[in-house]
Amino acid sequence: MPSERQPLLEGHTVSKYFGGLAAVNNVDFAVYPGEIVGLIGPNGSGKTTLFDCLSRLQKIDGGRILFRGRDVTRARPYQIARMGLSRTFQSVRVYRKMSVFSNMLISHQWRDTSLLRMLQPSPAGTAHRAHELLEFLQIERLAGEQAGRLSGGQRRLLEIGMALMPNPDILLLDEATSGVNPTLIETIKDRIRALNEQGKTFLLIEHNINFIADLCSRVYVLNHGEKLAEGTPKEILQNEAVIDAYFGA
Ligand SMILES: Nc1ncnc2c1ncn2[C@@H]1O[C@H](COP(=O)(O)OP(=O)(O)O)[C@@H](O)[C@H]1O
Ligand SMILES: [Mg+2]
């Protein structure tokens, strides 16, 4: 376990309430540079809400979030993005009427806040990067397609490409395999592995346990907003409390 190094992303007693509901309750975690970490738990256990807190789309009600050791608890979404954190969404967010390529170009400027900048033509380097990433993700042939016409898996790959445009250090992927056919699940897995070898760190929300077991060195399990367990995929799969949370009720 990478114990001496500084975590890239860490949460200390992170809490988020919706009215009386503790969607995320006192959660501690740390993701170290170069890791692929899983975040699992039954539906409604708070996984997406935790991502919303980390990407700063939701204010937290308690605790602290640190990025490279810096307190970002009150950072704005564009600030955390600029620092090198990108995320994808459980329900894919692409501009359906725009081409795959245009979706990529627009994502480059997410780091910029002004609409005016977003609407300006992109520099040549950006276009080059967009093509390179589409090629890397094996969807370059779809560059001119309307994003709304892609299959579920192709759209997930596009969204990963969009998240990669600002060249983040850590990617938070929310259910990257949902609605994806088995062949493209393998592609996504393979690309995550390749990106990780290039130095990218990942935090993955997943329902696909094989995917988690194949990729992750460590896993956190949420249940009713609380951290139920953490460990290697093997440890987690043998954990009675985890099995109970998934299959007990
Ligand atoms: N914006 C919101 N307003 C009110 N309740 C919410 C909101 N977002 C999520 N919740 C609730 O918080 C809990 C955790 O949801 P979520 O984080 O989406 O879980 P998961 O991603 O693990 O399925 C659920 O009970 C959900 O209904
Ligand atoms: Mg979710």
What's residue 242's pLDDT? 93
Q: Please, is 1 exposed, middle or buried when counting C-beta atoms within 10 Å of its C-beta (0-12, 13-18, 19+)?
A: exposed
Q: Which has the closest alpha carbon to 103: 132, 140, 130?
A: 130
Task: Give the whole-angstrom CA distance, residue 173 versus residue 156.
Answer: 10
Conformation bin of residue 105: beta by default, left when phi > 0, alpha when psi is -120 to 50: alpha
Q: Which residues pair with 231 in a beta bridge?
A: 219
Joined together, the tokens standing for residue 151 give 């299959």
d(CA 49, ligand 1 centre) in Å: 6
d(CA 21, ligand 1 centre) in Å: 9
Atom of ligand 1 minimally distant from the CA of 51? 17
The mean predicted confidence, pLDDT, of the chain is: 92
Q: What is the pLDDT of residues 138-172, one digit of tens each?
A: 999 999 999 999 999 999 999 999 999 999 999 99
pLDDT at 239 over 80: yes
Q: Are strands 62-67 and 70-71 parallel, antiparallel or unpaired?
A: antiparallel
Task: Give the whole-angstrom CA distance, residue 234 versus residue 161.
Answer: 30
Domains in the chain and their CATH numbers?
A: 9-248 (3.40.50.300)
Joined together, the tokens standing for residue 16 give 């988020």
| Residue nearest to ligand 1 atom 20, measured at CA | 44
What's residue 109's pLDDT? 62
d(CA 89, ligand 2 centre) in Å: 9
Beta-carbon contacts of residue 104 (< 8 Å; ≥ 6 apart): 130, 133, 134, 158, 161, 162, 165
Q: What is the pLDDT of residues 183-211, one digit of tens each?
A: 999 999 999 999 999 999 999 999 999 99
Average pLDDT over residues 124-144: 94
Atom of ligand 1 minimally distant from the CA of 174? 21
Average pLDDT over residues 12-31: 97
d(CA 52, ligand 2 centre) in Å: 10
| Residue nearest to ligand 1 atom 16, measured at CA | 46
DSSP assignment string, the chain:
---SSPPSEEEEEEEEEETTEEEEEEEEEEE-TT-EEEEE-STTSSHHHHHHHHTTSS--SEEEEEETTEE-TT--HHHHHHHTEEE--SS----TTSBHHHHHHHHHGGG---HHHHHSPPPHHHHHHHHHHHHHTT-GGGTTSBGGGS-HHHHHHHHHHHHHTT--SEEEEESTTTT--HHHHHHHHHHHHHHHHTT-EEEEE-S-HHHHHHH-SEEEEEETTEEEEEE-HHHHHH-HHHHIIIII-
